[in-house]
C-alpha cells in the first residue's frame, strides 16, 4: 500500500522518520500539496473520527493514507492549513497506543510519523508492511512489543465504533 507524507521541515532532520522512509523507498514525500492523492485519509491526531474497519471500502477503492510530518508544537496550525488545501482527504485520528520513539517514549498518542503509519497499516491488517516500515528504526520492534496487546485487539475490530471502545480497555478514558 503506498504511503504518502506531507513534509513541512519543522523538526530536527536527524530525528525525521519521514525522510528515512523516503530514502528507503518505503514512503512518498510531498514537499507541497499540489500532488497529493485526490482521495483517502489524512492522519490527524485532532480529528473527531477514528480510522478503522469502516474505512476499508475507501482504501480498497484506491484511497490513500497520508501522514503529516510536522512539529507537535505547530500541530494545530499545520493541520488546519493542510485540510484547507486538501479538502478531499478525510481527517482521521488513530486509537491510542504508546510512542516508543526517543522524543516521546511512553506518551499515549504522541507518535512519530512512522509509528502513526504503522498503526494505520495494522488497522488495515497489513502487518508485514508495518513491520517493514518500522525495521529501519531502533525503536521499531520496541514499538510493536510495547503495544502488542492493543494493536492485536485493534486489528481484530470489525467496526470503527468497536475500535473506539476497545482503546478504553487499555487506556484510561478521559473525563467528559
d(CA 98, CA 19): 22
pLDDT tens for each residue of 28-62: 888 766 777 878 898 888 888 999 999 999 999 99
Angle between helices 148-155 and 160-170 (to 10 degrees): 160
pLDDT tens for each residue of 15-24: 678 888 989 9
**Burial category of 66 from C-beta neighbours within 10 Å (exposed 0-12, middle 13-18, buried 19 and up):** buried
In a domain, 176, yes or no: no
In the chain, the number of structural domains is 1
CB of 75 within 8 A of CB of 51? no
In a domain, 13, yes or no: yes
Average pLDDT over all residues of the chain: 86
Has residue 10 got a pLDDT over 80?
no
pLDDT tens for each residue of 72-111: 555 555 545 555 556 678 999 999 999 999 888 999 988 9
Band (12; pLDDT cuts 50, 70, 90) = low
In a domain, 27, yes or no: yes
Which pLDDT belongs to residue 13? Answer: 61
In a domain, 175, yes or no: no
In a domain, 10, yes or no: yes
In a domain, 58, yes or no: yes
Structural domain span for residue 57? 3-170
Amino acid at each position: 500500500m503506498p504511503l504518502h507524507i506531507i513534509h513541512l521541515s519543522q523538526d530536527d532532520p536527524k530525528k525525521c522518520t519521514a525522510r528515512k522512509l523516503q530514502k528507503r523507498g518505503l514512503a512518498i514525500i510531498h514537499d507541497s500539496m499540489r500532488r497529493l492523492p485526490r482521495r483517502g485519509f489524512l492522519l490527524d491526531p485532532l480529528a473527531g473520527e477514528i480510522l478503522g474497519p469502516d474505512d476499508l471500502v475507501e482504501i480498497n477503492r484506491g484511497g490513500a493514507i497520508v501522514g503529516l510530518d510536522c512539529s507537535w508544537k505547530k500541530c494545530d496550525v499545520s493541520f488546519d492549513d493542510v485540510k484547507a488545501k486538501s479538502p478531499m482527504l478525510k481527517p482521521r485520528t488513530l486509537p491510542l497506543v504508546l510512542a516508543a520513539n526517543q522524543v516521546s517514549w511512553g506518551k499515549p498518542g504522541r507518535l512519530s510519523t512512522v509509528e502513526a503509519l504503522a498503526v494505520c497499516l495494522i488497522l488495515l491488517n497489513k502487518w508485514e508492511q508495518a513491520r517493514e516500515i518500522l525495521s529501519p528504526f531502533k525503536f521499531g520492534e520496541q514499538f510493536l512489543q510495547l503495544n502488542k496487546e492493543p494493536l492485536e485487539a485493534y486489528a481484530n475490530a470489525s467496526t470503527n465504533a468497536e475500535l473506539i471502545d476497545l482503546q478504553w480497555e487499555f487506556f484510561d478514558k478521559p473525563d467528559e
